[in-house]
Every structure is written in C-alpha cells, then in structure tokens.
Structure 1
Amino acid sequence: MKDVILDIKQWGNNLGVRLPAAIAREAHVHVDQRVKLTASNGQIIITPVRDEPLT
C-alpha cells in the first residue's frame, strides 16, 4: 500500500483531489471509471466500481 499526502483544491463549486498515477495504477483505476465515495468516521473512502461482466 502506498501513502501520499495531497491537497484538496477548489473545482468549481466542489472540492477535488488529483490521484497520482502510481496510486491509480496500484488501485487499478482509470480515466472515466466510476467510483463509490463513502464518508465514515471522518475518513473518505474511494472504492472502484467494477463493471459487471455481460452474461
């Protein structure tokens, strides 16, 4: 697991964080992939949403 310290920036009326390429690779996430955000106990958790295989 990699740890990095990032700054939260203003992005329009929202807040944003840029994911470093190394973190994105390790988490197997890519551009335009959907993620689930969860706020719990003062933490923000980002979980990749995997596409369901077609049957």
Structure 2
Amino acid sequence: MQTTIQKWGNSLGLRIPKSFAAEAQVEEGSTVDLSVENGSLLVRPHRARKYTLGALLKRVKPRTLHGEVSTGKRLGREIW
C-alpha cells in the first residue's frame, strides 16, 4: 500500500490504515518502537517483556549478588 507522509506540527506523520492497525494489534495510544533499518522506517508494536522470578534469579551471578542493604529505621507501620 502506498500512503503519504504529512506535516504534523514540527514533525511528520504517517496515517496507519485501520486494517493494518488491526493486523498489527495497535490502536490509538499504543506505544510503538520506531527504527531505521537499511534506509527504511520500521514501526513495531512495543511489547513489554514479561519476566518470571525464576528467570530473573537464573541471571544472578556471584559477581552481581549484593549483600543486605540497610535502608534505615522503619517508618510508620512497616515490619522488618
């Protein structure tokens, strides 16, 4: 599909046809990642990574493991 880049304030805007938006699972307000690859604009839906505790703990190495850190006295109804 061919479309036209248009001026939008001090920037340029690209309208995304409804069918393309639906297929890419984006809607108004969606966050996208924009990059240039080999001279072409690439727009991808931003997908936040989902981490599990187990996956994060597997990445802990002895050199990055830190001891306990004092955060001061408790405040309010905190329990230590």
TM-score bucket (shorter structure): 0.7 to 0.9
Could you say which structure has the higher helix fraction?
2
Name the aligned partner's letter for residue 44 of structure 1: L
Highest relative contact order (Cα 8 Å, sep 6+), 1 or 2? 1
How large is the RMSD of aligned CA atoms in angstroms?
1.4
Alpha carbons of 1:27 and 1:12: their partners in 2 closer, same or farther (altered >3 Å)? Answer: same
Residue 35 of structure 2 corresponds to which residue in structure 1? 38
Unmatched 5+ stretches in structure 2: 53-80
The aligned runs of 1:1-55 (5 Å cut-off) are 4-52=1-49
Separation in 2, partners of 1:39, 1:12: 22
Could you say which structure has the higher strand fraction?
1
C-alpha distance after superposition, 1:1-55 (max 9, x if no partner): xxx11100000110010000000001111110100000121100001012456x7
- Identical-residue share of aligned pairs (%): 37
TM-score (norm 1): 0.82
Unmatched 5+ stretches in structure 1: none
